[in-house]
Amino acid sequence: MNIAELIRKKREGGSLGEEEMRELVTRYVEDDLPDYQMSAFLMAVFFNGMTPEETLILTRLMLHSGKVVDLSSIPGFKVDKHSTGGVGDKVSLILAPLVASCGVPVPMISGRGLGHTGGTLDKLESIPGFRTDLSISEFINVIREIGCVMTGQTREIAPADKKMYALRDVTATVESIPLIAGSIMSKKLAEGIDALVLDIKTGRGAFMESYDRSLELARTLVDIGNGFGKETIGFITDMNQPLGTAIGNWLEVVESVECLRGSGAAGNIDASADLMEVTYVLSGAMVYLGKKARSIEEGIDRCRKAIEDGSAYAKFIDLVRAQGGDVESIENLERYPLSKFVLEIKSSEQGFIQAIDSYELGMAGIALGAGREKMGDSIDMKAGILLKKKAGDAVEPGEPIALLFTDRENAVSQARKRISDAFSISAARHSKPSLIKDMVDKNGVKKWKKIN
């Protein structure tokens, strides 16, 4: 087939059939289709979308472009979680060992940073020695040994998605619902899971800023999951301010470890209350789908107890050790090297934090070295931002609102201004945003009632 004709057809709003889509995907995986032509196709999809049938075809083709892991030899109902990405979203680092400590196997294949959001793999690789390049046999062995595993895509798992995922990041085509849905579900279905929990972010720091778009994505993902016979539940969660206090790879590992220890950010559990609220809801749903609780509420209770009794933290140590990581760096967080420049950003006003622009902080983090501006860029694992204030907090003139960490002296001035400008301060206190908006399952959309 003539690839330019297929691109033109999509550009003009047409629909591609299975054979046409297979031509694009197969030739791209086989390096017979250059990046510039796939980029043109992705941009055409970005502007014109895909029909539900096209989205299912794309998901199936990406899924079967490689191997599907067989976890039938692993006892238990295997459940994973996926987030559509946000700033400061380190939930997976806490959730995987937490759910596994409740007896539910968690096979997790994660991705790298996309756009202004961080990636789970990059965060894990900030732990010295931690391997995210496990083979399929290693993947199976680790989950059999400790009950959870966190790795990246191998060459055998959804190779079409792996190539397209990296290309989307640098061609401004990330926010397309069909492309997001196909990418997420092809990886998740390839893991050998029995069920899936989804965290669909909405707001300024999410790829889907509007609620309506987030709901459309949630429904698309849930329909695909259930269409493939995997019980799938989605939660729409707020991303109008960063989740937790840390932005940046090692900084987010530190906050995650402190939460697993039950002490929260820098020993203050209240500072990470929003992070843990989202984590408990998602992990509780996983425990429920994993048949270890009779309801999501009971699953949340089990997860709280696993933090309190130390079993979740112990499972994280097992995970680090099993994947080659330096356990000592986790047990002694303070020994990790600091950035050359650690600077305070102070408030120039008195009042209350009205809002924090997650997108601006995500972009500032990239400028500091915590993310990639283009494919192949290296990451400074130490770089990032620590929030000293969150939405609803009172602030005085001269009081620190954030810390920046970087080795890039030439990035300090611009990043400092961008971080400062991301904080909106008002005279009146505003209520804190609701974190969990709605739940979406095979029966439709339900308002989520906060569980204390």
SS3 265: strand
Return d(Cα 119, Cα 239) in angstroms, integer. Answer: 16
Phi-psi region of 287 (alpha: psi -120 to 50; beta: other; left: phi over 0): alpha
Spatial contact of 332 and 128, defined as CB atoms under 8 Å apart = no
Eight-class DSSP state of 75: -
Catalytic residue status for 168: yes
Measured distance CA(23)–CA(9) in Å, rounded: 14
Assign 230 to helix, strand or coil: coil
Q: Tell me whether residue 82 is one of the annotated catalytic residues.
A: yes
Residue 64 a catalytic site member = no
Catalytic site residue from 116, 187, 372, 389: 187
Of 147, 124, 81, 122, the residue nearest 279 (C-alpha): 81
Distance CA 333, CA 325 (A): 13
Q: Catalytic: which of 10, 163, 168, 372?
A: 168
Say which of 122, 161, 169, 238 is annotated catalytic. 161
C-alpha distances (whole Å) from 417 to each of 243, 352, 389, 420 are 21, 19, 16, 5
Place of tokens 């009172």: 394
* Residue 361 contacts residue 385 (beta carbons within 8 Å): yes
- Cα dihedral value 417, 419, 424, 426, nearest 10: -80
DSSP letters, 10-58, are HHTT----HHHHHHHHHHHHTT-S-HHHHHHHHHHHHHH---HHHHHHH
Helix (H) or strand (E) holding 191: none
Q: Which member of 10, 78, 81, 82 is catalytic? A: 82
Q: Please give the single-letter amino acid code of residue 120.
A: T
302-308 CB contacts, 8 Å cutoff, 24+ apart: 302/102, 303/98, 303/99, 303/102, 303/279, 304/280, 306/98, 306/101, 306/102, 307/98, 307/259, 307/260, 307/262, 308/262
Which of the following is catalytic: 183, 186, 214, 256?
A: 183
What is the C-alpha to C-alpha distance for residues 37 and 41, in angstroms, rounded to an integer? 6
Residue in 8, 442, 45 with CA at minimum distance from that of residue 232: 442
Distance, in Å, from the CA atom of 428 to the CA atom of 254, rounded to the nearest integer, reads 33
Q: Determine the Cα–Cα distance for residues 154 and 140; give it in Å rounded to an integer.
A: 13
- Of the candidates 438, 372, 287, the residue with the CA atom closest to the CA atom of residue 111: 372
Catalytic residues: 82, 161, 168, 183, 187
